Structure 1
Amino acid sequence: MLKTRNKNKKEEHIDESWLIPYADMLTLLLALFIVLFAVSTVDAQKFEDMANSFKSALNGGTGAMDYTSPVSVVEKSSIPTAERSITPEDDRPEQATQKASLDQLQLAAIKKKIDAYIEDKNLSKSLRTTLTESGLIITILDNALFDSGSAHVKEEAVGLAGEISQLLVTDPPRNIIIAGHTDNIPIQNSEFQSNWELSAHRSINFMNLLLQNEKLDPKKFSQAGYGEHHPVAPNDTSEGRAKNRRVEVKILPFNQ
């Protein structure tokens, strides 16, 4: 009888010491999976949130869970260029510079074509071209287009306007501004009350002649009248005033 009781007592106290290393192994495996997850995603914020969640669930303890980011966050500047994703902001300045340079080359080609036309027609005294960062400017002195104090294009200049319109055809089409300018001598006739009006009407009339060319898109054209307020030479000589009386055809870069 005594032996039976001793046997039952031993059976009631089964050795459970194996649970301790088993639990430690599971904890280590969990920590390993978390580290592998962090290494694969390199997302510090996501790992930190997950680590904190597991840490709270396991109720503390010192170990891998006590480190919010076992993988150091790499600085953006230290990532090899080939591995970085290129954003529009990264290459915008360089692309803009390349596009501007290409645009200037295209405008220079247009200038060369117009200069060849001016030389061929012996029009260097009345027409000239200037290439600037803001566009290609074709300057036409007023005596080639208008009589003094008039905004009506002279009959002999209608053909000139038609030929210039052919030179303005580009693919793709560019925005073009037609601007009228005068000298500083006040207008004295019944048709116009100021040089503003005279310069504006001259630019409109010349633009209308250009747009008779059906290859040009009217939506790409605009006009301005500046009167005497944008001189290119002093108005104190007849030669200077002659230079200031002009119509300018400005071919714009694509970014304007």
Structure 2
Amino acid sequence: MAQPVKTAARAAESKLHNKQKEQQVETAGMMRWLLTYADMITLMLALFIILFAMSTISRVKVQAFAKSVSGGFNNVWSINQPPNGGSNGQQSFGANANIPTLQRELQRYVQKNQLQHQVQIRVKRHNLVVTLLSDQSFYNSGSARLRPQTLKILDTVAGFLKKTANPIRVEGNTDNVPIRTVRYPSNWELSTARAVNVVRYLVEQDGIEPTRIAAAGYGKFHPRVSNATAAGRKENRRVDIVILNRNDIPQPTARTDRFIRATKKPAPHPSIKPTGKS
């Protein structure tokens, strides 16, 4: 009787032991799965930390890029800022005047004073261009000396230029008729002298900031129309006052800078006899 009891007890103990071992094996398997899961979670956490760090760096880079771009476009007109009323019948546009508004005001001035055949206002490549057609009303043939009619118009144009902070480039142009004089050996010199004289007057007489204005002479090489007719040549003889919409004004050369600063008032040019009309 005792032997069967011992056998049954031993069997029960063995069964319990086996069950405990099975539970241990099962628990160990579950632990291995948990370790794998924990490793995966750790790796994902590390990945998200890296992605967050990269996104932060990218944001900083983007902010730096945006700052550099905005710095390069400090003088771009704002199309959202409305003009304020000004004096002398003109509107005050502030430092961020927009091109369409300024264009309308200049066109209104041209029409009011019936200057359509002498002054043209247009937009070219987002820049506002005020064209002085260089016929006898602005310059004598073969001369760069500004005539009184020109000075009056420049004084008015300067009033508009002062209401912007945009850089300005004054461009001299001629037709294709050659000129050979002591003062102007070619149309290069004549076109440059005309542009420089306009710059000098705007700076020295009208108070335009010299750091935002420059002169350029293009000779016969930037015609608006064909030079085949007298009317075409007349249209190509011009000075363009270009109000730039970005800060790409070229630095003046030492020679041009000395020429502009040489005198406080524009010096009259001596009479010359040109060989051609430019």
Stretch of structure 1 that moved more, 190-199 or 246-255: 246-255
Q: CA deviation at 1:112?
A: 0.6
> Distance between the aligned counterparts of 1:192 and 1:153, measured in 2?
16
Q: Say if 2:179 and 2:186, in contact at 8 Å, map to a contact too.
A: yes
Using the TM superposition, give the Cα deviation of residue 163 of structure 1 relative to its aligned residue in structure 2, in angstroms: 1.1
Contact 1:130/1:138 (<8 A) preserved: yes
Q: How does 1:73-152 map to 2 (within 5 A)?
A: 88=62, 102=79, 106-143=98-135, 144-152=137-145
Deviation for aligned residue 1:190: 2.3
The equivalent residue for 2:93 is none
**Aligned counterparts, 1:121-200, within 5 A:** 121-143=113-135, 144-171=137-164, 173-200=165-192
Equivalents in 2 of 1:254, 1:198: separation in Å? 28
Structure 1 unaligned regions, length at least 5: 1-13, 47-84
Task: Name the structure 2 match of 1:33.
Answer: 38
TM-aligned CA deviation for residue 29 of structure 1 = 2.0
Over 3 Å counting, the alpha-carbon distance change for 1:210 and 1:44 in structure 2 is: closer
- Percent of pairs with identical residues: 25
Q: State the match for 1:68 in structure 2.
A: none
Structure 1 counterpart of 2:191, one-letter code: S
Alpha-carbon separation, structure 1, partners of 2:158 and 2:113: 15
- Aligned-partner Cα distance in 2 for 1:41–1:113: 62
CA deviation profile, 1:98-142 (whole Å, cap 9, x unmatched): x99949x92111111110111122211100111122411111011
State the alpha-carbon separation in 2 of the partners of residues 255 and 26 from structure 1.
Answer: 68
Look up the SS of the partner of 1:249 in the other structure. strand
Alpha carbons 2:174, 2:219 under 8 Å: kept: yes
| CA displacement at 1:250 relative to structure 2 | 1.1
Deviation digits for residues 149-184 of structure 1, max 9, x if unmatched?
11111133222211111112344x112111001111
Residue 236 of structure 1 aligns with an amino acid whose one-letter code is A
Deviations 1:50-83 (CA, angstroms, capped at 9, x unpaired):
xxxxxxxxxxxxxxxxxxxxxxxxxxxxxxxxxx
Does residue 228 of structure 1 match 2:190? no
Question: Structure 2 counterpart of 1:138, which letter?
Answer: V
Superposition RMSD in Å: 3.6
- Matched residue, 1:238: 230
Write the distance in 2 (CA, Å) between the matches of 1:45 and 1:219.
48
CA gap of 1:198–1:45, structure 2 versus 1, over 3 A, is: closer
Counterpart contact for 1:183–1:227, Cα < 8 Å? yes
Cα distance change, pair 26–45 in 1 and its aligned pair in 2 (3 A):
farther
Is the Cα contact below 8 Å between 1:199 and 1:225 reproduced in 2? yes
In the alignment, the residues of structure 2 paired with residue 109 and residue 24 of structure 1 have an alpha-carbon distance, to the nearest angstrom, of 79
Q: State the 1:19 CA deviation.
A: 4.7
**How much does 1:30 deviate?**
1.6
- In the alignment, the residues of structure 2 paired with residue 40 and residue 101 of structure 1 have an alpha-carbon distance, to the nearest angstrom, of 46
AA matched with 1:210 = L
Q: In the aligned structure 1, how far is the partner of 2:199 from the partner of 2:125?
A: 23
2:194 equivalent in structure 1: 202
SS in 2 for 1:114: helix
Structure 2 CA distance for partners of 1:113 and 1:45, relative to 1, 3 Å: closer
Amino acid at match of 1:168: L
Structure with higher RCO (Cα < 8 A, 6+ apart): 2
What's the CA shift for 1:231? 1.5
Which amino acid is 1:152 matched to?
R
* 155-164 or 194-203, larger mean C-alpha shift: 155-164
